[in-house]
Structure 1
Amino acid sequence: MSRAGLDKNPREVAEMFDGVAKGYDRTNSVMTLGFDRRWRDWSRRVLDARPNEKVLDLAAGTAVSTVEYAASGAWCVAADFSVGMLASGAHRPVPKVAADALRLPFKDNSFDAVTVSFGIRNFNDTVVALQEMARVTKPGGRMVICEVSTPVWKPFRFVYMRYLLKLLPLIAKFVSSNPVAYSYLAESMATWPDQRTLGELISQAGWEDVAWFNLTGGMVALHRATKPKPKAEPEAAAEAAEPTA
């Protein structure tokens, strides 16, 4: 069984998720006490996918969330670096693409919206991934990220960091096809930036109107942002402002 290191080597990350693909959805529900469904529902609401829009669901895993976004009438594609994860979701009726988040195989300005749930912390260069997400999003398009974060209530934050994260690998021994991988997942959760720091990284990558709100006391946070529209040239803006006869 394999696990990735905190340097997040792409090959190791892909192999690790190939190893947890079998039974991954069931394991998620057990490990989160069913809260994963609630978090996905909030992501769907905030993304607000609309009929005929094109949506990229990045690090989509078995495409559980992709199917939920597609129920809106949008055309949604599931992209993931782990072929094993995509294969485990082969029965779900959405297009699937094996893709590296740092070099997405899509043209500029291809999507109306892009989203990633519990995957961005596994990319070995967060800012580059955010820049790639911006590249393939249309100007004015939106991004939603659902990811683990830092509990805001200090007593709960202490228990979460000191005890709950350490329980994950132990629970995984009973429910996961690759329990050793959950040692990495717990470590990556403990070292992941807090809400404000991730918001700053999103801005640094070129997104605007960055905002976030907490779910489950900040154990998970939703970040949303918009890709800036091109600024009008000064002459064109002046002509548009001139009154017509």
Structure 2
Amino acid sequence: MLPLPLTCVIVDDNEINRLTLAHLIELTPDLQLVASLVDGIEALNYFQQGSQADILFLDIEMPLLSGLDLPALLPNPAPSIIMVTTHRDFAVHAFALAALDYLVKPVTLERFNVAVSRVREQRLAQAPLLSPPAIPDPHSDASLFVKVGSRMLRVNFDDLLYIEAQSTCSVLITKGQKHVVYSTLKALEERLPLARFARVHRSYIVNTVLIDSVQDNVLRVGSHEVPVGKSYQDTFYRTLRSI
């Protein structure tokens, strides 16, 4: 599991573009904006002075020092780079510079989430190489923090019945409340312990510990019913037999 939140730096000489990216970061629960910079020179100074970030959202077309030139000058450890441009033609240059992804302006939340998911996947793959295996903590999987509105909310796994995907957000159903979170179901799934939660449908993750009954591929969880998708049935029922 990744250390959260992932810290972000924006570099763009256009104020509207910076504000747009800052808003998308704010809508994403496991991201935190630590700097919003106006050009490549300011960004180079920021990183050379010892500041670090997990993700760098980097505009390509900037005066003095462009987004195509800045990556080669960044000290290690360098952030994961997501290029931002108005021209799709720059995509080849972006990937040649080992950028993980590129976004075309205007940036949509859906496309933004795809790019951030690639950063998460890259960092999960690198995690065993960066640090020795951690000793499991029996209390570490008791809850998770999610961003609900303007606050970070702790959700206890003992109370979380299931999660449902709805458009660009997800709804966490607990024993007493519903919480709308601007995150994809896949991103939330990566933060949940496999011993307690299972994907049972393309739109549902369920707390297997709190399942009351199963009938006709429909789960009863408290007073709620959750369908089991056809492509998930074999895996889910194998999991259920092992509980």
Larger Rg: 2
TM bucket (normalised to shorter chain) is 0.3 to 0.5
Superposition TM-score, scaled by structure 2 size:
0.33
